[in-house]
Chains A and B, each alone.
Chain A
Amino acid sequence: MDVSKLMAIMISMVFINNFILSKFLGLCSFIGVSKETKPAVSMGLAVTFVTTMSSIITWLIYRYLLIPFNMTYLRTISFILVIASFVQLVEMVVRKASPGLYRVFGIYLPLITVNCAVLGVAVLNSETFFQNGHTIAGSFLMSAAQGFFAGIGYLLAMLLMSGIRERLELIDVPRSLKDVPLAFIIASLMSLAFMGFNGFSR
């Protein structure tokens, strides 16, 4: 596991294959929660945390439970169950242990269970780092990195979008385009800009 591979994953997940702007994963929360910067950043942090942890957990489950017992067809059902219970657990722990942290991102945790980005990165990991039932060397670290940087990419897109939408509040736009439709159009322009990163790393 060398640094160059890690860098490649970072650039790919944050810029080229940004989860929201080029893969459409987590779009619901992107449009729904990006009206103001503060909640948007909190949501981004919560997603980053959950994608990282769920990448690690689902990798362990896939490698040590599903593959040895030849049950890879149970991938979807086991991943979603594990992610849902993990998120629930974290919410309970955070609420009890640290009210400050709970205020920052705890309230967004229940929303994240059904966020496609979280299940998406788990499924993606199981597809890219396991081939014909064999693990690729260093895949544990790589999948953790993929989860983390997918979350960072999400956070970046959230931050940019909420900044733009905050300013739009004051601008007079056609009534039929207000809010949601305009958010889509802005996202489209951002996505166009992010396409410029294509070909950045081979």
Chain B
Amino acid sequence: MKSLIKEFTKGIAIENPTFGLVLGLCPTLAVSTSLINAIGMGVAATFVLLGSNIIISAVRRLIPAQIRIPCFIVIIATFVTINELMMKAFFPALNQALGIFVPLIVVNCIVLGRAEAFACKRPVLDSIFDALGMGVGFTLALCIIAAVREVLGAGTFLGFGLVKGFEPITVFILAPGALLTMGILIGIVNYWHIKLKTSKEITKAGCDGCK
């Protein structure tokens, strides 16, 4: 039980996909314009992560090592398609807001990264907790970015107005604001790492981070 809890919590803090490993940047920045979108994307990604982790770890002995990546991609794409269809049916507005980034979950490094680094080596139960932890960590990170952007860029929080007479800095909900927010947040995380001497500073990102 203790190890399961560890698998769950590592994704939230130390190995957080966004602020620890810096993976899956494209959806992180693109959909964090408002808190609602961020939560929607986080839940969608968690669903795909959970499904693909369970199936991959269940069939891990049947997949030959040489062709594992195509196999993983097919399994992930299946869950992304399920997710896409369900979203279209039950949450059309959210689907509209997330747009092209719903099918693009399939190329999110977090999902493939977990399949490759964890699910294909460990039993099902461990993989479930790993997926949940990573999913929650991703959702939380998205929410932090989205909260900063929504408050500064639209002057609202979850759609509710905050301060009267506050002129929103519109650029924060546009593309430059996302990149600036992300840069400064990673800077803060790094500052904290340097201060505590954890030697876990972020020096690589994206495809580089996978290696």
Interface residues of A (CB under 8 A from B): 21-33, 73-77, 80-81, 84-85, 111, 114-116, 119-120, 123-124, 127, 174-185, 187-189, 191-192, 195
The stretch among B25-33, B135-143, B146-154 that forms the contact with chain A is: B25-33
Expressed in whole angstroms, the Cα–Cα distance for A179 and B23 within the complex equals: 16
Q: Is the CB of B179 within 8 A of A119?
A: no
Q: Is the CB of B183 within 8 A of A32?
A: no
Q: Which residues of A contact B94 (CB under 8 A)?
A: none
A80 to chain B, nearest CB (A): 5
Known pairs A181-B183, A188-B179; A29 contacts B109 (CB<8 A) = no
Q: Which residues of B contact A179 (CB under 8 A)?
A: 202-203
Known pairs A28-B23, A81-B73; A111 contacts B207 (CB<8 A) = yes
Q: Is the CB of A182 within 8 A of B73?
A: no
Contacts between the two chains (Cβ within 8 Å), count: 148
Expressed in whole angstroms, the Cα–Cα distance for A188 and B69 within the complex equals: 33
B190 adjacent to chain A (CB < 8 Å): yes
**Closest 6 pairs (CB-CB, A-B):** A28-B206, A184-B183, A188-B179, A32-B208, A176-B191, A77-B77
Closest to B183 in A: A184
A54 to chain B, nearest CB (A): 12
Q: Is the CB of B107 within 8 A of A31?
A: no
Q: Which residues of A contact B69 (CB under 8 A)?
A: 84
Q: Is the CB of B180 within 8 A of A184?
A: yes
**Given A24-B30, A120-B100, 14 other A-B contacts at CB below 8 A?**
A27-B29, A28-B207, A31-B22, A31-B205, A84-B70, A114-B109, A116-B104, A119-B103, A175-B190, A176-B187, A180-B202, A180-B203, A185-B180, A188-B183
Q: Which residues of B contact A84 (CB under 8 A)?
A: 69-70, 73
Expressed in whole angstroms, the Cα–Cα distance for A28 and B113 within the complex equals: 13
Interface residues of B (CB under 8 A from A): 22-27, 29-30, 69-70, 73-74, 77-78, 80-81, 84-85, 100, 103-104, 106-109, 112, 171, 174-180, 182-184, 186-188, 190-191, 194, 201-209
Expressed in whole angstroms, the Cα–Cα distance for A124 and B101 within the complex equals: 11
B37 to chain A, nearest CB (A): 13
Q: Which residues of B contact A26 (CB under 8 A)?
A: 26
Expressed in whole angstroms, the Cα–Cα distance for A178 and B202 within the complex equals: 9
The answer, among B25, B178, B186, for a CB contact under 8 Å with A181, is: B186
Expressed in whole angstroms, the Cα–Cα distance for A148 and B128 within the complex equals: 41
Q: Which residues of B contact A176 (CB under 8 A)?
A: 187-188, 190-191, 194, 201
Q: Which residues of A contact B190 (CB under 8 A)?
A: 175-178, 181
Q: Is the CB of B176 within 8 A of A195?
A: yes
